[in-house]
Amino acid sequence: MASVLVFGAGVIGSVYALRLAKAGHEVQLVARGDRLAALRAGGLEIRNVLMCDAPEKAPVTVLERVPDGEFYDLSIVAVRSGQVEPALREVARAKNSGPVAVIGNNLGDLGAQGAMIGPERFVAGFGAFGGCREGGVIS
């Protein structure tokens, strides 16, 4: 079982957090504002609108910020492009020796982002799904 940090609780971050938690990994999910409140009140839920299934839930620890000195086997940063660099600065505070994957519409300077956490640990990716948030549920 791996220890995973997911920074960003929008559609992409929520889907990755839920899937990793359901696979048996220990997941901590960083959220802010009304999304943080919704997750604390109702937990993490997603619903596959194409399958017409009931919402899926998974146990994740919801955080407002990355704990200092925490170790993660993997960190995923899934935020809007203008939020990537502040998120990476926060993720860099963790005692993270594993890879850091930035997943989403990342139009920033990948070289500068990699330098923030170490180019040997930096992975750029693109989430191949979309959705929306309806109340506390990601669809």
- Given a cut of 80, whether residue 5 has pLDDT beyond it is yes
- Given a cut of 70, whether residue 114 has pLDDT beyond it is yes
This prediction's pTM: 0.89
- Given a cut of 90, whether residue 139 has pLDDT beyond it is no
Beta strand 3-7 with 74-77 is: parallel
Tell me, what CATH number does 82's domain have?
A: 3.40.50.720
Domain count, the chain: 1
Question: Which is more confident, 70 or 62?
Answer: 62
CB burial string 23-41: b at 16+ within 10 A, e below: eebbbbbbbeeebbebbee
Q: Per residue in 11-68, pLDDT tens?
A: 899 999 999 999 999 999 999 999 999 999 999 998 876 666 678 899 999 999 999 8
Q: Which domain holds residue 118?
A: 3-138
Mean pLDDT score, 98-112: 85
What pLDDT score was predicted for residue 109?
87
Beta strand 74-77 with 100-103 is: parallel
